[in-house]
Amino acid sequence: MSLTTCKKQYPSKYTAKAIASRLAIYFGNWSDAISSAKEDIDYGKYTIASSDTFVGNFKKDSSPNSIFELANSYVYNQGGNSLGFIFKGSV
């Protein structure tokens, strides 16, 4: 799958729910964490990677345990276009 066709490059409702669940965990709001995570689980599109496949999933585009992915290629890692420059302000 090419970087231009990967649908996980764009956040979805379920990406937002996963982030909301993670934030609720950080703040100790367990009921919100559970309800947000349950929506992702009940959606049925994503799975939890087994220990046997966990590392290998990082080599695949759009693995079933990935809810959101950043597109990354040689173009995105050059000088002022790099992800590090964009998020930190310098290379």
- Note the pLDDT of residue 77: 61
- Note the pLDDT of residue 75: 62
- Note the pLDDT of residue 29: 95
Predicted TM-score (pTM) above 0.75: no
Kindly report the number of other CB atoms within 10 A of residue 45's CB atom.
Answer: 10
Inter-residue contact 41 to 14 (CB < 8 Å) = no
Cα–Cα dist 76/68, whole Å: 17
**Residue found by looking up tokens 């764009």 in the block:** 10
- Note the pLDDT of residue 1: 44
- Note the pLDDT of residue 82: 65
- Note the pLDDT of residue 91: 45
pLDDT per residue, tens digit, the chain (91 aa), is 444 555 556 788 888 999 999 999 999 999 999 999 999 889 988 888 888 888 888 777 777 778 877 766 666 566 666 666 666 654 4
